[in-house]
Structure 1
């Protein structure tokens, strides 16, 4: 069982990640820093998620002296295309239309950083959507907030309930934090 011996910092403004950490019964505080989330074009989806998670962790040099810093990045990939957070309603509509009736992958990279030690891992989950009507897509964009979510959706809200036919892999990974892998990594860190 994981025994917390140093303070934990979750470097994420994601309410979903914060909720998952609370459900894991971890004692942590949230500390935020602005980090450029750009990445080299040649990286694979798993490498992109890990690259950005590490980039975020490296921004916390001072905090890592006394605390274990946890950073994460989630991306959605469909047919080799990376679907990040939508810029506006038209972009969200375009993404959700692409995902409608198809299977896509959700990758989350996670970095653990303490002093000069940095460990990064990722998880991938396949998500199968049923075909969505244009009315359902419009309802989701207008009533929910797809603008802070990779791929323009949250599996834990209305669209996840009505559109997801099947997932292969971790449900919490699609929410933004593969809790089972994180727990194991913390236990062995």
Structure 2
């Protein structure tokens, strides 16, 4: 197949999402949304990521009607509580201590706006082993935990904490590639196999 036929915009500054789209052979531009994240606590985690993904895509799409716009939002959920990006070291430490030795969910909402609109949420279950105190301290000394939901990156050193995973690995990174590419195909955007 030839490269992407239509203009695709990713409404996110996430370097991980850009990398995943690039590896999937989807040529795209990055134009971040200005939507502020946050919940009033009354939404379910699924409704929350779906709403944010839709709002982010719509925010960018209204200025770029000629493009297919992808909006996404990812959260970590433990016992029904949303864990977003940590605010500081202590917040990251609290999150990782809660995740240690337990199973949590990672939810990503994805909105695609072109001539039609698509919205879906993907859930992956991730089980952490007990995190040794020395590992936790060293991890918190790195830069990795601070710009990621749940304070860890499965594709980086945070993957050392993972004992098992059920579902889409790429969803945990921040973008469920298979359902995304299938949906983009319906919008006339095909992957380029490198």
Note whether the superposition's TM-score is higher than 0.5. Answer: yes
Distance change in 2, residues 1:43/1:102 (3 Å)? same
Give how far 1:39 is off: 3.0
Q: Separation in 1 of the partners of 2:158 and 2:78?
A: 17
Q: Separation in 2 of the partners of 1:184 and 1:39?
A: 29
For the 8 Å contact 1:39–1:51, the answer to whether it is kept is no
Q: Separation in 1 of the partners of 2:184 and 2:4?
A: 9
Q: Separation in 1 of the partners of 2:142 and 2:4?
A: 39
For the 8 Å contact 1:107–1:122, the answer to whether it is kept is yes
For the 8 Å contact 2:31–2:60, the answer to whether it is kept is no
Give how far 1:144 is off: 3.1
For the 8 Å contact 1:110–1:121, the answer to whether it is kept is yes
SS of the residue aligned with 1:73?
strand
Unaligned runs of 5+ in 1: none
Unaligned runs of 5+ in 2: 188-194
SS of the residue aligned with 1:181?
helix
2:190 maps to: none
Give how far 1:2 is off: 9.5
Please list, as runs of the form range in 1=range in 2, the aligned pairs for 1:13-32 lying within 5 A after superposition: 13-32=13-32
1:177 maps to: 175
Number of aligned pairs? 187
Please list, as runs of the form range in 1=range in 2, the aligned pairs for 1:26-175 lying within 5 A after superposition: 26-115=26-115, 117-160=116-159, 162-175=160-173
Q: Separation in 2 of the partners of 1:37 and 1:91?
A: 17
TM-score by length of 1: 0.93
SS of the residue aligned with 2:60?
coil
**Where do 4+ consecutive residues of structure 1 move more than 4 Å?**
none
1:113-143 CA distance string (max 9 Å, x none): 125x321111000000000022111111112
2:192 maps to: none
